[in-house]
Amino acid sequence: MPIIYHHISAMRTALQTHRGQQRIALVPTMGNLHKGHLELVTLAKQHADIVIVSIFVNPTQFGEGEDFDSYPRTLDSDVAKLTSVDADYIFAPSIDEMYPVLPPPTCVLAGAIANQLCGQSRPGHFDGVGIVVSKLFNIIQPDLAVFGQKDYQQLAIIKQLVRDLSYPIEIIGAPIVRADDGLALSSRNQYLTNAERQIAPVLHQALQRLAQQLATGKLSQQRMQASLAETRRYLTDAGFTIDYLEIKTDQLGSITTAEGSNIVEKRFIILVAAWLGRARLLDNEFVTINKQF
Ligand SMILES: Nc1ncnc2c1ncn2[C@@H]1O[C@H](COP(=O)(O)OP(=O)(O)OP(=O)(O)O)[C@@H](O)[C@H]1O
Ligand SMILES: CC(C)(CO)[C@@H](O)C(=O)[O-]
Ligand code: BAL
């Protein structure tokens, strides 16, 4: 069973016996763990000797009117799940422990990459992620940290944070873990009613369909926009309210258009966020253009 620490000083002391001798991995989470989180731990175990899972529902990344109060907090069952994958430590601090002053006057801002996609509909969200992840990195000082590709923008922002603040930490992106019907696992899936849960896999199906359309033939800006518009209609008809459906480079830059309006990139990513009832679902899918085009 993993050892649980609620205080920064005790967590740091425990890690002293490992530091320098064993490779330490951090898996940051907000708890209410599912198979997606457990895969992050399994991946971390493959790259490190000691795995710490942090469980902290971080208030600074929730906006006004968001689900901070109702976010599921399930520490006992999380501990049981982490025992099954052999996690070594759980770091589960209180809000006071993490934030002596709330909101913290110190900011970690990610710039342009954070002002698009999820950052547009959740202003300040990535500032909150930036500060809490910086704090976790400083407290744990891991050799590596694992984040899921489901939250692709978050992963890109954390890679930028590590580069810009010179953290000596390797960042590993873990593939999206899905239910059998293709729905990306997420703690917020439990906000779906039974009827909505039947519809939810359409999100991934729509991404796969769009990816297939875009991967074949010469891809012009017009054809890309038409396929995006058609997919937006398809999702809206299925009952989703689309927050965004966009195509970006793997670094989350804009797609470039050459003369003749053809798309330059041969590999790019489709990203979507869409509401279904009370749940805001995220997903993404990479597209690689078939070689002959
Ligand atoms: N299905 C998944 N596949 C891979 N990684 C995942 C998956 N779901 C969550 N993660 C990763 O787990 C880490 C912790 O995420 P978090 O605790 O917010 O879980 P979540 O299921 O994404 O919850 P939420 O519903 O709040 O988005 C993040 O790095 C996230 O990308
Ligand atoms: C990285 C994280 C644990 C920071 O609170 C959170 O944003 C999440 O669960 O993805
Ligand atoms: N997994 C992302 C955390 C959040 O939605 O706040």
From first to last of its 293 residues, the chain has per-residue pLDDT tens of 999 999 999 999 999 999 999 999 999 999 999 999 999 999 999 999 999 999 999 999 999 999 999 999 999 999 999 999 999 999 999 999 999 999 999 999 999 999 999 999 999 999 999 999 999 999 999 999 999 999 999 999 999 999 999 999 999 999 999 999 999 999 999 999 999 999 999 999 999 999 999 998 788 899 999 999 999 999 999 999 999 999 999 999 999 988 778 888 889 999 999 999 999 999 999 999 876 55
Cis peptide before 103 (omega within 30 of 0): yes
Per-residue model confidence (pLDDT) at position 126: 98
216 alpha carbon – ligand 2 mean position (Å): 36
Instruction: Give alpha helix (H) positions in 67-147.
Output: 75-84, 95-98, 118-121, 125-140
- Answer whether 169 contacts ligand 1 (Cβ < 6 A): no
Ligand 2, residues at Cβ distance < 6 Å: 28-30, 58, 61, 129, 132-133, 151, 154
ipTM exceeding 0.95?
Answer: yes
Is the CB of 188 within 6 Å of ligand 1? yes
Sheet holding 144-148, edge to edge: 3-5, 89-91, 50-55, 24-29, 144-148, 170-174
Task: Using the atom order of ligand 1, give the atom closest to the CA of residue 186.
Answer: 21
Distance 152 CA to ligand 1 centre (A): 10
CA angle 181, 184, 188 (to 5 degrees): 115
Catalytically annotated residues: 37
Annotated ligand binding at 135? The verdict is no
pLDDT at res. 216: 85
Report the pocket of ligand 3 as residue ranges, CB < 6 Å.
61, 151
Query: Using CA atoms, how far apart are residues 273 and 276, in angstroms rounded to an integer?
Result: 10
Ligand nearest to the Cα of 134, by number: 2
Residue 54 Cβ < 6 Å to ligand 1: no
The pairing of beta strand 241-248 with beta strand 267-276: antiparallel
> pTM for the complete prediction?
0.97
Task: Decide: 53 and 2 in contact? Cβ < 8 Å.
Answer: yes
Question: Is there a binding annotation on residue 34?
Answer: yes
| Residue with token string 């896999």 | 201
d(CA 181, CA 282): 15
CA distances to 214, 232, 285 from 226, in Å: 11, 10, 18
Say if residue 33 carries a ligand binding annotation. Answer: yes
Task: Take atom 15 of ligand 1 and give the residue whose Cα is closest.
Answer: 29
d(Cα 281, Cα 209) in Å, to the nearest integer?
Answer: 18
Q: Residue 100: which residues within 8 A CB-CB, separation 6 or more? A: none
Euclidean distance between CA atoms 120 and 116, whole angstroms: 5
Q: List domains and CATH numbers for the chain.
A: 3-174 (3.40.50.620), 187-288 (3.30.1300.10)
- Cα separation values, 150 from 89, 147, 177, Å: 24, 9, 8
pLDDT at res. 271: 98
Contact 266, 288 (CB under 8 A): yes
The phi, psi pair for 190, rounded to 5°, reads -70, -5
User: Is 22 among the annotated ligand-binding positions?
Assistant: no
Predicted local distance difference test score (pLDDT) of residue 291: 64
Q: Which atom of ligand 2 is nearest to the CA of 58?
A: 5
